[in-house]
Amino acid sequence: MIGADGGSGTVRRLLDVAFLGETDEDERMLLGDVRLDGSDRDHWHIGQDAQGGSVALCPLPATDTFQIQAPVTPGDTGAPTLESLSHIVDTLIGPDAVRLREATWLSRRRLNVRMVDRYRVGRVFLAGDAAHVHSPAGGQCMNTGIQDAVNIGWKLAAVLHGADASLLDTYQAERLPVAAAVLGLSSRLMGQGIGEHGADTERMLQMGHTYRGGPLAPAGPADAEGPSAGDRAPDARCHRADGRRVRLFDLQRGGHWTLYGFGVRPRPPHPAVRTVAIDGEGDGDPVGRADGADRPGQLIRADRHRRRRSPGGR
């Protein structure tokens, strides 16, 4: 069973798994989806005042609504209404610049920064907000949850197809440190304005997460430098052996394992692994291949992290 029932999830509570961290009662926010007049749907509109209060109107794709995020007025303890939100919008964006017409839902949100201390209890696994909730800064939460789901997904499938059940223990070992790192990053970003994220912008893309040194990618001497097992497999333009151009990400699409052989057709280590012979020079050194005689293959996991290099493409 996977408990992916959100930050207030019942599964985690029933398992009595601690949700460690803090709830900031002072950081409250009004949220909702609204229909409005006076704003184009091509941009995310943000109005700010000199005191740092801000209201955001985000056009939701494939709908005629905007998600609105607004501060709670000091002393306001009531449920949000269209009228109270209209007042905030008038104050922060300008009187009558935007007219709220209708709300499909409105809510209050508290800032929670919490995570579990275990991802697994027996046959139950926790994933997504059920396992970690963050500050919204940096847009990290959903991406982290989706990566949880992909990680446990391929492992469960593998065990159902005969892999050793101990593979499931690697879910927590790989994902818990990532959740902790993301929690730290999003908390740090919380105090900054949009556009001030500087060096953290790259980390916000979550491209650099690695399972290097974890149970499925123990660090070895050969991994001291350059890309190694556990790292996210990068994209690159390459040539197939028959000369056709191809992107590595296209070859990995579909949730299967992929084995690349450079200059050779690799032998599949398992029937479910898709093998690809790659020839010619790519536009970089995407997979850390060596020159000359040592042309290692690269085994890429279903979640697009490297499993290992294998000399000779096998």
By CB under 6 A, name the binding residues for ligand FAD: 4-6, 10, 31, 69, 109, 128-130, 136, 139-143, 145
Residue 192 or 245 with smaller CB distance to ligand FAD: 192
Q: How far is the CB of 111 from ligand FAD (least distance, A)?
A: 11
Confirm if 268 and 238 have CB atoms less than 8 A apart.
Answer: no
Residue 31 or 124 with smaller CB distance to ligand FAD: 31
The tokens for 297 are 């293959």
Residue 146 or 222 with smaller CB distance to ligand FAD: 146
CA dist 45 and 59 (Å) reads 9
**DSSP per position, 236-274:** -EEEETTS-EEEHHHHHTTS-EEEEEESS-PPPSSTTEE
Residue 204 or 273 with smaller CB distance to ligand FAD: 204
Q: How far is the CB of 112 from ligand FAD (least distance, A)?
A: 11
Confirm if 269 and 261 have CB atoms less than 8 A apart.
Answer: no
Residue 119 burial (10 A CB sphere; 0-12, 13-18, 19+): buried
Q: How far is the CB of 49 from ligand FAD (least distance, A)?
A: 20
**Backbone angles phi and psi of 90, in degrees to 5:** -60, -40
Residue 13 or 253 with smaller CB distance to ligand FAD: 13
Q: How far is the CB of 4 from ligand FAD (least distance, A)?
A: 5
> For tokens 């005042």, what's the residue?
49
**Backbone angles phi and psi of 269, in degrees to 5:** -75, -15
Q: How far is the CB of 8 from ligand FAD (least distance, A)?
A: 7
Q: How far is the CB of 206 from ligand FAD (least distance, A)?
A: 9
Q: Where are the beta strands (DSSP E) in 4-98?
A: 19-37, 45-48, 54-59, 66-71
The residue whose Cβ lies closest to ligand FAD is 128
Residue 139 or 263 with smaller CB distance to ligand FAD: 139
19-37, strands of its sheet edge to edge = 45-48, 54-59, 66-71, 19-37, 99-116, 132-133
